[in-house]
Chain A
């Protein structure tokens, strides 16, 4: 173990909260203890996650050939790995090979996620050495209107769900006459199956700060708010530290990077309300109020935070802006299909063997994501459905898995891409229960402002219960249809307006589950078996 060839070995152990949730802190600690005991010098860098979450904790060792990965590593494995010569990249059953060359990763097109998992998230040197600040420097050379034009030309659309073109939103704020304008980053990420925002904030926080600063320059804003949900304490802590470091380096504050730009950024923590991800509700919450949805118009770009012109964008939207400015609009626009340009950060979760982050150009099919990247279910049972785009997204049957990931194609098929979350279910799923949950969730999380949503969702649960229970089934099915129409047409925002999407898709594609026709399998609880120790395909 005492290899004289090492002056100091460098080992990466993620501190991403998903990696920590399966023992990364303990692995880092075991490595450090071993170094002290074994009297060798070890530099443990806590990086973000590469997004191969089923391999977490993924330990990477720097070797002359590149970074060699081992995973998933437990603290009990550490001794054995060191004895086998892990610090030299030696062979071991957990050895995965050169991480950059793992097919799962190599096949992706990492644009927004290029640095996540590669660098030390809080190292300014790492950040600049890997292309950080190039976008901001380029933007500061341009007039605000030209920055807006560049973002518009890139075709970048909002990644928070609705897919509205970022440049057009920014133009409205730029054109607003007010002295005081805001940039607000929506980091509420309440959708089940989405975790990319969290991984950006924990794994490459300066990128988000840089993106927000570029937005501030582009629209003439002097203050920014980052609204992070309280369920993400690690992201909150990392962003706060990164903002402090950025201020010390003149990346925030007065005369940013020696330019005329003054901009400062504050973190605000949500308080456990899903609806506060809706942009106007988020603004109310930032103002210290209940998160009640505001009627639009006026849109936030005209009357936003405290009534001032405000850019509201998702984490991934803002985090993608630096690379657009650094590499140019054309380079970004060349990726993708039709009106879905650039890359999308797909998030594979639920009952999936290889869950994690897949960043690729738009146009990839759901089947490629679930079968080729995801490797099927975690339980090993057949895939029955995937819910795409969060709790308000449709449940799709396997027969629709060849749909290309593209905003318009999904909308045409009665589904939505949303934030890019894909949640996989095996054949043990009861789709009537899932439909019921969609209504229950809406009832629980409704802001309460309008009746179709507030009352409709409660009725929805009752009606589904009656259908499943066999009470006046036909009448209640018709009633459910009516209720879905009413919620779709009559709700003020997409919470009530889209809840019928998961409900109807479950009914359309899996009617038997509602009619007692399908005898539910007697399924054992899904437990982590040996499956997690597989390497990449």
Chain B
């Protein structure tokens, strides 16, 4: 997850990732996912390397990185918490969770000052019968009320 190691540069990571996906048709999305998995985001320096490696224009690569919600251009907090704001969760009070996060000083899109957590919105996690739903670092939580969201946000959630 670090770019500060001596021989780990953005460029080397990107080239290694591209090499792994060389045989795939239209590989840019899997490559970007892999770059983000290693670096935590898709840094601007990755764009020209990707363009060169995949024989695309920089504009093409930039266009793809910015089109998709998943790809972030800045590092996020150590944990990313996503609150579902789609209809089924709305019907169960998802807005209360968004308000709760805001009142805790973490409006949507913001990262906590200590870098511990970033809060985002998401539209549907496929858990619409057990909402409100929240996801934290790939882990799904159902029937989340403000108290539970609180413990998810400060990393003390049990179960």
Contacts and interface: CB of A to CB of B under 8 A. Distances in A.
A355 B124 contact: no
Contacts of A333: none
Interface in B56-115: 60, 63-64, 67-71, 86-93, 96
Given A290-B63, A525-B145, A526-B92, A347 B129 contact: yes
Contact of A191 (B89, B124, B142, B146): B124
B40 interface: no
Contact of B124 (A231, A425, A532): A231
B33 A271 contact: yes
Contacts of B131: 349-350
B133 interface: yes
Contact of B71 (A268, A271, A424): A271
B91 A425 contact: yes
Contacts of A233: 138
Interface in A20-39: 20-23, 26
B9 interface: no
A528 interface: yes
A268 B124 contact: no
Contacts of A327: none
B5 interface: no
Given A56-B130, A231-B125, A355-B128, A288 B69 contact: no
B17 to A, nearest CB: 14
A527 B145 contact: yes
Given A424-B91, A425-B91, A437-B90, A17 B127 contact: yes
A287 B124 CA distance: 25
Contacts of B28: 288-289
Nearest to B138: A233
Nearest to A274: B123
A273 interface: yes
Nearest to B135: A231
B140 A528 contact: no
Interface in A338-356: 347-352, 355-356
A349 B93 contact: no
Contacts of A387: 87
Contacts of B129: 18, 53-54, 195, 347-349, 352, 355-356
A60 interface: no
Nearest to A231: B125
A20 B139 CA distance: 9
Contacts of B32: 271
A104 B29 CA distance: 42
Contacts of A270: 29, 68, 70
Given A273-B67, A291-B67, A75 B159 contact: yes
Given A18-B127, A21-B133, A288 B27 contact: yes
A378 B92 contact: yes
B124 A192 contact: yes
Contacts of A441: 123
Interface string A393-428: 000000000000000000000000000010111100
Given A192-B128, A290-B64, A423-B91, A20 B140 contact: yes
B13 to A, nearest CB: 19
A353 B109 CA distance: 32
A75 B142 CA distance: 16
A349 B87 CA distance: 9
A424 B88 CA distance: 7
A286 B93 CA distance: 35
Contact of A195 (B25, B27, B126): B126
Contacts of B64: 288-290
B30 A268 contact: yes
Contacts of B126: 17-18, 189, 194-195, 198, 231-232
A23 B93 CA distance: 21
B88 A423 contact: yes
Given A192-B86, A387-B87, A273 B128 contact: no
B143 A528 contact: yes
A121 interface: no
Given A18-B127, A423-B87, A289 B26 contact: yes
Contact of A351 (B67, B92, B145): B92
Nearest to A24: B159
A268 B70 contact: no
B130 A192 contact: no
B122 interface: yes
Contacts of A526: 92-93
Contacts of B124: 190-194, 231
Nearest to A284: B26
A391 interface: yes
Contacts of B67: 273, 290-291
A285 interface: yes
A271 B68 contact: yes
A421 B87 CA distance: 11
Among B30, B69, B128, the most chain A Cβ lie within 10 Å of the Cβ of B128
Contacts of B145: 525, 527-528
B93 A271 contact: no
A434 B25 CA distance: 40
A291 B28 CA distance: 12
Nearest to B27: A288
Nearest to A198: B126
Given A75-B159, A270-B29, A288-B54, 12 more contacts: A18-B129, A18-B130, A18-B140, A18-B142, A21-B143, A190-B123, A273-B67, A289-B64, A306-B26, A351-B92, A387-B87, A527-B93
18 contacts: A23-B159, A53-B129, A192-B87, A192-B128, A198-B126, A230-B70, A231-B126, A234-B140, A271-B69, A288-B29, A289-B26, A289-B60, A290-B63, A290-B67, A290-B68, A525-B93, A525-B96, A526-B93
